[in-house]
Structure 1
């Protein structure tokens, strides 16, 4: 299988997965109890949007070191999403199944970001 050349941040698998998570978070927060808790809903949405946005912003920078910083911000936001999802589960806003699926997506993103961060760290040595 031929690997596609990465020319824009939209080509990055990790960015694409980030957008998918954002879409799922927006769908889940659109209705039900969670939609009425404006603070939690907004924080969850902002944290999820922050993941692909930081990846994109870092990719567009001129230095690998700056890109690395933005990947770290994105990874932090993935952790924030997982924490907020847990809050939503604990207060009864999310079903266990929905929580597990979203948590899994956020964990996958964290792992992908970790791999990219480690790879960039190696190339900067």
Structure 2
């Protein structure tokens, strides 16, 4: 399955780009770096996992992407509270992460239904 064709990869990539662009001027480089790394990890791990040969490896990387989504959501909540992220933008991102997580969960279930190795 080509990861570039998956909506979950496309949406998580777009979310990552939006986060990078929105936080481009943020001076707290530690916070910005942590948040952008979490965002970048989601589509990157989806891509890496789906290029793996074994179903076990695929599922492991997709699971890492899911964990990165949870990490990102936590950082967004904190970013809202400390005033780095507007409440409207943060809530939009959180809704998108919830949708992406649901899609990742469905992808993981598909590995169980259609094991490749």
Same fold (TM over 0.5): yes
Runs in 1 of length 4+ with deviation above 4 angstroms? none
Counterparts of 1:1-125 in structure 2 under 5 Å? 6=1, 8-31=2-25, 35-124=26-115
RMSD of aligned alpha carbons: 1.0
- The gaps in structure 1 that reach 5 residues or longer are 1-5
Number of residue pairs matched by the alignment = 115
Distance across 2 between alignment mates of 1:106 and 1:79: 8
Q: CA deviation at 1:38?
A: 0.8
Separation (CA, whole Å) in 1 of partners of 2:47 and 2:82: 33
Q: Which structure has the greater CA radius of gyration?
A: 1
Give how far 1:68 is off.
0.5
Question: What secondary structure does 1:30 align onto?
Answer: coil
5+ long unaligned stretches in structure 2: none
Quick one: distance in 2 between partners of 1:43 and 1:62? 30
Q: Which residue matches 1:3?
A: none
Task: Give TM-score scaled by structure 1 length.
Answer: 0.87
